[in-house]
Amino acid sequence: MNEASRRFQRTAVGVEEARLRLLAHAAPVGVERVPLAAAYGRLAAERVAAADPVPHFRRSGMDGYAVRAADTAGAASESPVLLRVVGAVACGDVPETALAPGEAMRVMTGAMLPEGADAVAMLEAVAETTVRGAAHVVLRRSAAPGANVSAIGSDVEAGTTVVEPGRRLGPAEIALLATVGRTHANVYRKPRVAILATGSELLPPEAPLVPGKIRNSNVYMLAAQTIAAGAEPVPLCAAPDDMARIAAAVEEGLSSCDLTITTGGVSVGDYDVVTDLLHEWDGELLFNKVRMRPGSVTSAGARRGKLLLALSGNPGACFAGFELFARPVILALQGDPRSGPAAFEARLAEAFPKPNAYPRYVRGRWWSESGVLYAAAGGGDRSSRMLPGLGADCFVVIPPGGSGTAAGTLVTVVPLRG
């Protein structure tokens, strides 16, 4: 097929549309049970509710004295209230007696309150004294009912959902799972992602440089991005630009992994074999061009419930294609209900002089200054370059059209994670 016919058959879809077409084929993978200590960063595959309220007993919020609030009514400097100390409760202990009128019990933060007590006076708010050999406390301020007391269920009511399917397990979720008595979490297993670098010019990193050839960096970049997205990379041997070799490797990926990603050979050139492969694809062709730069040649197909995502070979375009398409797919394979990366608006710190036919996802940085968000798009960003990726923490989305974008323009920023 010649270049012109390849170009002719390509119909560009928007980034959102391309993503939705992919996500329609990204059903969650299976579930596995992992110990809580290994659950960090995984996506929950179940709803977990608290069987018991938290706390499940009335608990002191301060080191001090449990009192009956009614006893302290009217306490002031000129009319102090004297209460008899009838015992002490340490954390983990159960009070031996109930609190009768006129009594106080020494309690520490987290200790169970005795029956009859409904407030805690802080140590700093009482004076300890002895009356006829018995310990007493003097209060010069009243304690309101409920003061410094954590009521039953005041943190988590019984029945509250603490984790939902698709929720990423972070420190807060893991702490709550432990609190509700779980030792393990049911999470989606890590999707396996086959990564196939294509190109007769590719050398392994250890190979000495020879004219015309370059070292294969995309496979390592994609493996790192795959891990950051919570999946397991399965790098396949790099394939030269040969249809049979690439087709065989793609088959291997589709049959053994949940998602198959190729890089390179997807443009209109003579040896762009992935383009040919998708042209003859016997599954569903989801798209073969996206309205974006870099990576407009990004293409995708689905077959028997598996996705093939064909990313550009240019490192910058390959990186962007992964973040905008592979990452949301990998998250959806783990039950994440979100349909794309988060984004926010910021002011462009410097003019971006280059006009674009499509939105341009430029690797850049964002920051906040006096409460205003700014973003800087690297002017020297080219999809063939790798250096602009160093230190980049976002894509700055330069809108299409016009003669460039002026400094101060509000632009969309897509933060990069991991």
Which residues inside 345-384 make contact with ligand MOO, applying CB under 6 A? 383
Sole binder of ligand LQZAQKY5 in the list 216, 225, 226, 299 (CB under 6 A): 216
Please, which residue, 269 or 401, has the CB nearer to ligand LQZAQKY5? 269
Told to check if 314 binds ligand LQZAQKY5 by CB under 6 A, we report yes
State the Cα–Cα distance between residues 6 and 2, nearest whole angstrom: 7
Which residues inside 287-306 make contact with ligand LQZAQKY5, applying CB under 6 A? 294, 297
Please, which residue, 230 or 313, has the CB nearer to Mg ion? 313
Told to check if 268 binds ligand LQZAQKY5 by CB under 6 A, we report yes
Taking Cα atoms as reference points, which of 401, 415, 383, 364 lies closest to residue 296?
383
Sole binder of Mg ion in the list 198, 216, 263, 267 (CB under 5 A): 267
State the Cα–Cα distance between residues 203 and 358, nearest whole angstrom: 33
Residue 199, binding choice from ligand LQZAQKY5, ligand MOO, Mg ion, none, Cβ under 5 to 8 Å by partner class: ligand LQZAQKY5
Provide the minimum distance between the beta carbon of 299 and Mg ion in the complex, in angstroms, as a whole number: 12
Please, which residue, 216 or 383, has the CB nearer to ligand MOO? 383
3-state secondary structure the chain: CCHHHHHHCCCCECHHHHHHHHHCCCCCCCEEEEEHHHCCCCEECCCEECCCCECCCCEECCCEEEECHHHHCCCECCECEEEEEEEEECCCCCCCCCCCCCEEEEECCCCECCCCCCEEEEHHHEEEEEECCEEEEEECCCCCCCCCEECCCCCECCCCEEECCCCECCHHHHHHHHHCCCCEEEEECCCEEEEEEECCCEECCCCCCCCCCEECCHHHHHHHHHHHCCCEEEECCCECCCHHHHHHHHHHHHHHCCEEEEECCCCCCCCCHHHHHHHCCCCEEEECCECCECCCCCEEEEECCEEEEEECCCHHHHHHHHHHHHHHHHHHHCCCCCCCCCCEEEEECCCECCCECCCEEEEEEEEEECCEEEEEECCCCCCCCCHHHCCCCEEEEECCEECEECCCCEEEEEECCC
Provide the minimum distance between the beta carbon of 15 and ligand LQZAQKY5 in the complex, in angstroms, as a whole number: 15
Which residues inside 258-317 make contact with ligand MOO, applying CB under 6 A? 293-297, 312, 314, 317
Told to check if 103 binds ligand LQZAQKY5 by CB under 6 A, we report no
Question: Whose structure tokens read 């391309």?
Answer: 18
Please, which residue, 218 or 296, has the CB nearer to ligand MOO? 296
Please, which residue, 188 or 395, has the CB nearer to ligand LQZAQKY5? 395
Residue 187, binding choice from ligand MOO, ligand LQZAQKY5, Mg ion, none, Cβ under 5 to 8 Å by partner class: none
For 207, other C-beta atoms within 10 Å of its C-beta total 11
Piece of the chain touching ligand LQZAQKY5 by CB under 6 A; list 77-85, 116-124, 266-274, 394-402: 266-274
Residue 260, binding choice from Mg ion, ligand LQZAQKY5, ligand MOO, none, Cβ under 5 to 8 Å by partner class: none
Please, which residue, 72 or 383, has the CB nearer to ligand LQZAQKY5? 383
Told to check if 383 binds ligand LQZAQKY5 by CB under 6 A, we report yes
Distances (CA, A) of 71 to 112, 144, 250: 20, 10, 79
Please, which residue, 11 or 79, has the CB nearer to ligand MOO? 11
Piece of the chain touching Mg ion by CB under 5 A; list 82-90, 194-202, 263-271, 285-293: 263-271
Told to check if 199 binds ligand LQZAQKY5 by CB under 6 A, we report yes
Taking Cα atoms as reference points, which of 116, 120, 142, 101 lies closest to residue 63?
120
Sole binder of Mg ion in the list 272, 323, 336, 381 (CB under 5 A): 272
Told to check if 217 binds ligand LQZAQKY5 by CB under 6 A, we report yes
Residues that bind ligand LQZAQKY5 (CB under 6 A): 197, 199, 201-202, 214, 216-219, 263-269, 272, 294, 297, 312-315, 317, 383-384
Residues that bind Mg ion (CB under 5 A): 267, 269, 272
Residues that bind ligand MOO (CB under 6 A): 293-297, 312, 314, 317, 383
